[in-house]
Amino acid sequence: MPSEGYVPSFKDAAGHDNAVRAHALITRPRVHPRAAQRARINSAPIATQMRFSRNQTIFSEGERSTQFYMVVSGAVRICNYIRDGRRQVADFMFPNDYFGILPYPDYCETAEAISDVVLMRYAHPAMASLEDQQGSNALSQYSLEFRRHLLQLLLRRVRAMERHLLLLGKKTAQERIATILVMLSERLANTRGELFEIPLSRRDMADYLGLTIETVSRGMTQFKRKHLIEIPAPHHLVVTNIRALYALAAGMGKAA
């Protein structure tokens, strides 16, 4: 979603050419030719294809943040933990989404594979220029373009997180579940009323919504009984009345 429009699919195998193409991707076509050339000259691949299996950790909070990722296929959850194991999922990443982009010295969140997942990993070009406090000669055209992109991603992220705060702080269980169903439907279904697959488990949904799996399950069966959705299988969904779900998600669940 953040990078819609200029992110081609990476169906082909990883390799040097792929790395260069990935580089061009980040900087977009407008990049100065010199930058792309430099990447080739360095001959260090800046993008690598990686695979993670279900529930594997991609990176953990506190690790040094020197790379960021894009989802090629599968799904990833971004989460934070308290000592005793309580987990809060902050976001879900689906194909073409970037994550781990925060050029903090360390990651402030944990990324885990929801399903088997294929990722592209990039070196973090912003790191050097952000950390160097000497001057701006390190800020090449490359990092400038990258920053524009990064900024947009961060802005969308902040906006999404504010909606998430509202959900967790003020919405009822029904409203929360309606919200995530709308989100998933918008993100994962191609057409309205279509059957689509939800890679998330009930636990993933619950930990995103600040609820328990039982409450999520109950809410979904309620929607099923009201004929707002159909659940052919736990990981398959049809939204039959998206308007009603929208209304609930927008806050009509309290009055009713």
Binding site for DNA (CB under 7 A): 172-174, 201-203, 210-218, 220-221, 231, 233-235
For the four alpha carbons of 26, 184, 85 and 170, in that order, the dihedral sign comes to: positive
Interface of this chain with its own copies, residues 11 to 40, rule: CB under 8 A = 30
Chain centroid to CA 232: 26
Q: What is the CA radius of gyration of the chain?
A: 20
Is residue 243 at the binding interface for its own copies, with CB under 8 A as the rule? Answer: no
Q: CB-wise, 1 or 161, nearer to its own copies?
A: 161
Torsion of CA 221, 224, 230, 236, to 10 degrees: -20
Is residue 90 at the binding interface for its own copies, with CB under 8 A as the rule? Answer: yes
Is residue 254 at the binding interface for its own copies, with CB under 8 A as the rule? Answer: yes
Binding site partner of 251, from its own copies, DNA, none, Cβ cut-off 5-8 A by kind: its own copies
Is residue 87 at the binding interface for its own copies, with CB under 8 A as the rule? Answer: yes
> Among residues 34, 40, 64, 170, which is the contact residue for its own copies, using CB under 8 A?
170
Rounded CA-CA distance 157/152 in Å is 8
Is residue 144 at the binding interface for its own copies, with CB under 8 A as the rule? Answer: yes
Listed residue (97, 100, 11, 118) closest to 54, CA to CA: 118
Does residue 103 contact residue 65 with C-beta atoms inside 8 Å?
Answer: yes
- Angle (CA) 113-119-125 rounded to 5° is 120
Binding site partner of 174, from DNA, its own copies, none, Cβ cut-off 5-8 A by kind: DNA
Interface of this chain with its own copies, residues 103 to 122, rule: CB under 8 A = 103-104, 108-109
Binding site partner of 203, from DNA, its own copies, none, Cβ cut-off 5-8 A by kind: DNA
> Among residues 75, 171, 174, 202, which is the contact residue for its own copies, using CB under 8 A?
171
Other beta carbons less than 10 A from residue 234's beta carbon: 11
Q: CB-wise, 8 or 169, nearer to its own copies?
A: 169
